[in-house]
Chain A
Amino acid sequence: MTVAPTDFTIAAPAAAAPRRSWRSAIRRHPTIVFGAGLLAIMAAMAILAPYLGTVDPQAISPIERLRWPSAAHWFGTDSLGRDVYSRTIYGARVSLIVGFSVAVLSTGLGLAIGLVSGYNRWTDAIVMRIMDGLMSIPSILIAIALMALTGASMKGVIIAITVGEVPRFTRLVRSIVLGLREMPYVEAAVASGTPALRILRRHILPNTLPTLFVQATFTAASAMIVEAYLSFLGVGTPPIIPSWGNIMAEGRTWFQIAYYLVLFPGIMLSITVLAVNLLGDGLRDALDPRLQRRM
């Protein structure tokens, strides 16, 4: 019978722990929590789009064209009478898919090329000259040029933006690998005859991941903006798929009489990019506290 009170005293702090850890997380990393929270809301909005009071984003209703925001159409209607609220909510899907896909692809490719380049001096000189050359072309121009060739498609947008982002990741990974290569534990592994692939996988790769994760968030934000730019210029996501860039491009003709057509998707894009940037800023501060006060 003496066990019960002991159990109770142990159980009490355990029950309170999650609440305290949340509070402590918010206090220690408010930017991460705010950014991740905002991003989670956007992701939930994109996934649950059909259940958020939306109608078919492509449904045309000429009789209701260019209606101002009202109870029936929260964000108004466009020049074809389509519901701008529904189009804007569904548009979140394109931004998030493009941002996430470009971040994952650029990280993967940059990591593979950067690891080889940083660890192998023979390939380094050639690979880095190519990367330097590609980095001197503004990434949006690379994307525009590739999209002008391939035509509007979401897959094309993802590939076109990724091509411009890979050199930045490669350079970042290479710089980390060059530093790690001189570390005593890597030198010890080399001296003990550990195969190069195993050294890369066990000792070098894990140390590149935190920095890459931070860079991936900034790349996701940048990819969302470039996708919107491309769609706005008419070479991004096909008009059949509602994306924030497309909605703004269609709305710009009517801007002087119906500014809401551009305003709502523009604000949603800005909020999403802000969320990803805040998450990236917070992660950078958390992973490198020396930068916290400075940046």
Chain B
Amino acid sequence: MFAYTVRRILATIPIMIVVALFVFALLHLSPGDPAAIIAGDAATPAAIAHIRAELGLDQPIYVQFGEWVWRLLHGNLGISIFTNLPVTTLIAERVGPTVALTISTLIVSVLIAIPIGVIAAWKAGSWIDRAAMVFAVLGFSAPSFVLAYILIYVFAIAFPILPVQGYVSINQGFLPFLAHIVLPSIALGMIYAALIARITRASMLDVLAQDYIRTAQAKGLSNEQVLIGHALKNAAVPIATIIGIGIALLIGGVVITETVFAIPGIGRLTVDAILNRDYPVIQGIILVFSAAYVLINLLVDLSYTFLDPRIRY
């Protein structure tokens, strides 16, 4: 297991090198002068020259890349062109609401999806199963911002029981936090829940056809004991895999959901950076999100041995 963990961690290095190369190349792949692109259409030649010098764009490309990677390895993601603050500071200031939204979405999605998937598999072929699969197809087809506006209309305008927008930190009280985070979590989590529900059902159908399930039922165990204690436990690996892979969906959705609900997180920072053409911030955000995605999938891979002790590396 130790050797596998080390191997798996080492395998993430080439992936992150490609990510870094892509992020670095983004500016240089674009047609025209990167400094002029960042400076915008109305920029003076002096402003363009300043940006060029600031970002080191007047140096040979290999020097630029070397310096950029060196700074990266020291945790320096550069300086924001718009705010003149370090990108790491900007991201650190905004990470709290995004992490809160992501975790609450994960909780909401898993709480909705796994029971639906388990019950659909248990009642395979029945109207409950068909209803669950209709939910999965509809949930997968409704873009998060469309769902967000429908939820806002129903729960904040037609029946004003929840706030329309905004974010309250958990430190300022759990209930206000919950009131502000519930709608964004449902809007963002629906597509994710649909995906998890489908995989849970498929994985459970495989497991429920196994001999040991028949044995458990023959022993006289209750349906709940068979489903949760035997079947779900053995169906956990594909479910954990899809939860890991689906994080990419969440990251994409975070940008939109934070915009709709005016949540001051990294997603909102991304939109501000796009509008201001603040390229160092965009580069920093891509690196941070990609690193988070790679790390989560690494943890999911390593969790397989805990979820299924038969798996040995």
Chain B residues with CB under 8 Å of A52's CB are none
Assess A233 versus B255: contact at CB under 8 Å? Given A252-B260, A274-B141. yes
In this assembly, does B259 line the interface, its C-beta being within 8 Å of a C-beta of chain A? yes
Q: Considering the chains assembled together, what is the distance between the CA atoms of A228 and B26 in angstroms?
A: 23
In this assembly, does B167 line the interface, its C-beta being within 8 Å of a C-beta of chain A? no
Whether B279 pairs with A255 at a CB distance below 8 angstroms is: no
In this assembly, does B19 line the interface, its C-beta being within 8 Å of a C-beta of chain A? yes
Whether B282 pairs with A129 at a CB distance below 8 angstroms is: no
Interface of B is mostly: helix
How many chain-A residues does the 8 Å CB contact rule pick out?
47
Whether A145 pairs with B18 at a CB distance below 8 angstroms is: no
Q: Could you count the A-B residue pairs with CB atoms below 8 Å apart for me: how many are there?
A: 147
How many chain-B residues does the 8 Å CB contact rule pick out?
58
Interface of A is mostly: helix
Whether B255 pairs with A133 at a CB distance below 8 angstroms is: no
Assess A294 versus B205: contact at CB under 8 Å? Given A133-B18, A148-B282. yes
Q: Which of A252, A267, A281 contacts B137 (CB 8 A)?
A: A281
Chain A residues with CB under 8 Å of B145's CB are 228-229, 232, 248, 266
Whether A137 pairs with B138 at a CB distance below 8 angstroms is: no
Q: Considering the chains assembled together, what is the distance between the CA atoms of A62 and B282 in angstroms?
A: 38
Assess A150 versus B30: contact at CB under 8 Å? Given A229-B145, A270-B142, A294-B202. yes
Chain A residues with CB under 8 Å of B94's CB are none
The A259-295 residues at the B interface (CB cut-off 8 A) are 259, 262-263, 266-267, 269-270, 273-274, 277-278, 281, 293-295
Q: Which of B205, B259, B273, B286 contacts A137 (CB 8 A)?
A: B286
In this assembly, does B256 line the interface, its C-beta being within 8 Å of a C-beta of chain A? yes
In this assembly, does A70 line the interface, its C-beta being within 8 Å of a C-beta of chain B? no
Whether A133 pairs with B198 at a CB distance below 8 angstroms is: no
Whether B149 pairs with A266 at a CB distance below 8 angstroms is: yes
In this assembly, does B27 line the interface, its C-beta being within 8 Å of a C-beta of chain A? yes
Chain A residues with CB under 8 Å of B30's CB are 149-150
Q: Considering the chains assembled together, what is the distance between the CA atoms of A10 and B178 in angstroms?
A: 71
Q: Considering the chains assembled together, what is the distance between the CA atoms of A141 and B30 in angstroms?
A: 16
Assess A225 versus B143: contact at CB under 8 Å? Given A134-B22, A256-B164, A274-B138. yes
25 contacts between A and B (CB under 8 A): A130-B18, A132-B14, A134-B18, A136-B15, A136-B297, A137-B19, A137-B22, A138-B249, A140-B251, A145-B282, A145-B283, A146-B26, A148-B282, A226-B252, A233-B256, A234-B275, A255-B153, A262-B146, A263-B149, A263-B150, A267-B146, A270-B146, A277-B141, A281-B137, A295-B201
Enumerate chain A interface residues (CB-CB to B < 8 A). 129-130, 132-134, 136-142, 144-150, 221, 225-226, 228-229, 232-235, 248, 252, 255-256, 259, 262-263, 266-267, 269-270, 273-274, 277-278, 281, 293-295
Enumerate chain B interface residues (CB-CB to A < 8 A). 14-19, 21-23, 26-27, 30-31, 37, 124, 137-138, 140-143, 145-146, 149-150, 152-153, 157, 164, 198, 201-202, 205-206, 248-249, 251-252, 255-256, 259-260, 270-271, 273-275, 277, 279, 282-283, 285-286, 289-290, 293-294, 297
